[in-house]
Structure 1
Amino acid sequence: MAHQSDKTTQLPLLQSSGFSGTASTFQTLGNIIVSIVGTGVLGLPFAFKVAGWAAGSLGVIITGLATYYCMLLLVQCRDKLASEKESTEAATYGDLGFKCMGTTGRYLTEFLIIIAQCGGSVAYLIFIGQNLSSIFRSHNLTSSSFIFLVIPLQIVLSWINSLSALSPFSIFADICNLLAMALVVKQDVQIIAGEDFSFADRQAITSHIGGLPFAGGMAVFCFEGFGMTLALESSMKERGRFSKLLAQTFTGITLVYTLFGFFGYIAYGDQTKDIVTLNLAHNWSSIAVQMGLCLGLIFTFPVMVHPINEIVEQKLKKSTWFQKLASSGCDNSMTKLAQCCIYISRAILVLGLATLASYVPGFGAFVSLVGSTVCALMSFVLPASFHLKLLGPSLSCWQKALDVFILCFGLVFAVYGTYNSIVGV
């Protein structure tokens, strides 16, 4: 996510088309869905439990609309730069940050993207650990134990330099997500249709005000896909249709998110867990879906950490000692030693993320924290800031007011949402 070009490995439909404006509408649609929909959706029923079904539904809809609007702001900013003859086109989010705020803007933007990438990677590991612990509950192993059991494989996979071979697993993981959602909805309907079901104890709005920003953070995390906005738009053959396609896609995703969160909470009520697959009956179909989800995430984890590795290695290769290590000697012995250093740095990163994941108390709390902090800043604060900076003089009063509102609300939400996620609801 640090650079859009890095994430093409997560979007197989872009591999044949690149970013030269040759992707069809169907390809772009598929890539938007792959960029946005992830494992966070399986935490939405818990978010509805915390906020209430009415507040949760409204929150998801507002988050979807705000995210869509801010994605369009990024495209408008890039188009503004492209219209200036002396300015080169901003290809990435980091490039846009540089155009708006100089070196500080680039560092800030890429720092937030990397932190978000780390957060997503940790969320993957937490999800894998909790689901495997649920599947193999008779072995009395904790979630942390399963996280470290898969780490050797994750380290080996992180050593793969060409990630194109792993890109199909991104689609596999999304298919498993859809199957898991379908299985959850099927069980939801069965529970709701049962004779013992009662709607009376399902809250429309939580009585605890802290539940609203907590659920909001989870919703923002579910819509996070800003790292690919500019790349997706520029990859489309008919770029003028991008905003309409994005609106249609966001409408569909928002509707699915709202219904999934609503029915998940209505079915399980106060028993709703932070990963709704943990509420499923312990039978072969639910175990198969959970295993598929875990397998897909295990193989897409190296794709998630690849941009982090790239930035670490760029800094490493600029160091004097590494350059001497890589270039000294007439044979390849020192070059291999330098490569070994890179492998060690990747292994340390994976171990560090696994250690962090083992200390996280719960999937829902962590996802809300990431959504409330880096995702909120990337999704709302930076786009509004860039838009005001580049197009401020040409904007109408209501457009300026809306940008300022989004900017201020994003900052307040980030501060309060972070506090709320840490102290708990």
Structure 2
Amino acid sequence: MSNSYSMKQFSSTAVITENGAFPSTTSISTINTKCKENDLEKNDYEPFQNRKLEHPNSDARSFANLLKSSLGSGILAMPAAFRNAGTVAGIFGTILLGYICTHCVFLLVKTSQEVAKVSKVPSLGYAETAEAVFATGPRQLRKFSRSIRIFIDWALTFTYLGACAVYVILIVDSVQQIVDYFAVDNGLSKAMYCAMSLVPILIFTQIKNLKFLAPFSAIANILLVLTFLICLHYICKDFPGLDSQPMLVKIEQWPLFIATVIFAMEGIGVVLPVENAMAKPEHFLGCPGVLNITMSVVILLYMIMGFLGYLRYGSDAKGSITLNLPTEEYAALAAKVFIIFAIFFTFMLQFYVPMEIVWRNTKNRVAQKHHNLAQTIMRAGFATLTVAAAATLPRLEQVIGLEGAFFYSFLGLIAPSLMHIIFNWERDLGKFKWILIKDSALILFGSFVLVTGVMQSIVEIIRTS
């Protein structure tokens, strides 16, 4: 989650940067020139053989990195997702959505690998892949290649910042729950808690070197594992019967279920950096392949946690199951404290990624002598906007649904399918144009999730405001 106040967010920064895959060093002009020279035809250039990696990752480490990016604290939101589907519908829905998300990741990686051959570059990031696809697609689309790269860059930026707002809400809700228990009637509103959280956020988001942030990732991992184990203890304690919750809920709630699962499961911003850093990138796709093995584990764990957590807490399941734990018990209190620090560390690392994207796109407009000041103002401004957004949004699970529907449905479902169609438009759309039909169906599904999920989330936010 994380999306997804998911571990995917903070692990992605470390994975991307330490392997040199983010930000991309492939220039726009280089891609466009090489694409035009090749004029839509593949050649004997093999990207895998031309990758020069100082520290390439093994299949096992790539599996671990991808697992971290898709599995984390997002799993704690799955009971709330099942609340909008039901027990049986939640199980089958999680499996189906997991397959769809996995296939869309496959499309993105496969397209990136194929267009890298045409572009004669070793590897490409998400935005660079989109640019190269348009540059090698139908001629009338080539003029939009640079614009689409900038668009995807900013879409990724706001996706990460949206996840940061989710983190702030979880931190504030957890702190408020603890403080309100020990100091009843303290008179502090959610807005006040958000204002207080802004102080440490403004301080720590000024750290510009990933080297100083990386150790926090390890701490966050440990805290998340401990939190997960404590939550499992309380879920299995006084466990109700399997028929204690409905198998199926009203259909109008399904869009929130879909959006939450996609938000929790999607690690679309991380998959290409992981694949780009592999010693044997040909092992990423295929059967079984790193991608399929990883996502099978993720789907299974998300399904189990959602099912058991929903049976235990039912309609009271909150956006993070830690909020359902009894504050008066020491173990539960420890879990709430752990999640506060884990998510705060996650926020710091998550925030690094959009700031790198924004700075990469704006630094040429600032005089060299003002770079430090400009970065300080930029980071403070975006951090303040993120906290302000969190202060205006009421409930965690609704914001998760809104983030999943609006951002992850586009970047995780629509964009990979659209790029796959464009890349193959003048090459091979398959027998009876089955690639066009299948990818169009995915685009329609993603659009359905985007529209209905956003509408349902807004309705719920207005209703509970």
What's the TM-score, normalizing by structure 2?
Answer: 0.80
Unaligned runs of 5+ in 2: 3-8, 22-52, 135-144
Matched, 1:404 2:440: yes
CA distance in 1, matches of 2:189, 2:92: 36
CA distance in 1, matches of 2:201, 2:58: 34
| Bigger mean CA deviation after superposition, 155-164 or 19-28 | 19-28
* Equivalent residues, number: 401
1:160 Cα offset (Å): 1.2
Q: What is aligned with 2:30? A: none
C-alpha change, 1:82 and 1:309, in structure 2 (3 Å) is: closer
1:286 Cα offset (Å): 1.7
CA distance in 2, matches of 1:250, 1:25: 14
Q: What is aligned with 1:170? A: 217
Percent sequence identity is 23
Matched, 1:347 2:409: no
Residues 262-321 of structure 1 show CA distances to partners (whole Å, capped at 9, x for unaligned) of 0001011222222211111222222222212211222232221223323443455333xx
C-alpha change, 1:419 and 1:60, in structure 2 (3 Å) is: same
Provide the secondary structure at the position in 2 that maps to 1:205.
coil
Q: What is aligned with 1:332? A: none
CA distance in 2, matches of 1:89, 1:78: 10
C-alpha change, 1:312 and 1:237, in structure 2 (3 Å) is: closer
Residues 171-213 of structure 1 show CA distances to partners (whole Å, capped at 9, x for unaligned) of 3323333322222222121121xxxx4554411110x222111
Q: What is aligned with 2:309? A: 264
Matched, 1:58 2:104: no
1:346 Cα offset (Å): 1.5
* Structure 1 residues 78-157: aligned runs within 5 Å: 78-84=112-118, 86-101=119-134, 102-137=145-180, 138-139=182-183, 140=186, 141-157=188-204
Q: What is aligned with 1:300? A: 346
| Bigger mean CA deviation after superposition, 300-309 or 399-408 | 300-309
Q: What is aligned with 2:271? A: 229
Provide the secondary structure at the position in 2 that maps to 1:64.
helix
Provide the secondary structure at the position in 2 that maps to 1:226.
coil
Aligned-residue RMSD, C-alpha: 2.3
CA distance in 2, matches of 1:374, 1:66: 16
Residues 299-357 of structure 1 show CA distances to partners (whole Å, capped at 9, x for unaligned) of 232221223323443455333xx42xx54xxxxxxx5xx53343122112111111110
C-alpha change, 1:170 and 1:262, in structure 2 (3 Å) is: same
1:41 pairs, out of 75, 80, 104, with: 75
CA distance in 2, matches of 1:204, 1:279: 22
What's the TM-score, normalizing by structure 1?
Answer: 0.88
| 8 Å Cα contact 1:365-1:421 kept in structure 2 | yes
| Bigger mean CA deviation after superposition, 307-316 or 239-248 | 307-316
| 8 Å Cα contact 1:143-1:358 kept in structure 2 | yes
Q: What is aligned with 1:216? A: 258
Provide the secondary structure at the position in 2 that maps to 1:281.
coil
Matched, 1:186 2:233: yes
AA aligned opposite 1:217: A
CA distance in 2, matches of 1:274, 1:317: 38
C-alpha change, 1:227 and 1:10, in structure 2 (3 Å) is: closer
| 8 Å Cα contact 2:10-2:349 kept in structure 1 | no
CA distance in 1, matches of 2:236, 2:357: 46
1:151 Cα offset (Å): 1.6
| 8 Å Cα contact 1:55-1:212 kept in structure 2 | no
CA distance in 2, matches of 1:13, 1:103: 26
| Bigger mean CA deviation after superposition, 58-67 or 255-264 | 58-67
Q: What is aligned with 1:4? A: none
AA aligned opposite 1:240: E
CA distance in 1, matches of 2:114, 2:331: 51
1:13 Cα offset (Å): 6.0
| 8 Å Cα contact 2:401-2:457 kept in structure 1 | yes
Unaligned runs of 5+ in 1: 2-6, 328-334
CA distance in 2, matches of 1:99, 1:8: 27
C-alpha change, 1:377 and 1:25, in structure 2 (3 Å) is: same
Q: What is aligned with 2:396? A: 363
CA distance in 2, matches of 1:339, 1:350: 17
C-alpha change, 1:260 and 1:78, in structure 2 (3 Å) is: same
C-alpha change, 1:348 and 1:15, in structure 2 (3 Å) is: closer
1:251 Cα offset (Å): 0.7
AA aligned opposite 1:359: T
1:412 Cα offset (Å): 1.8
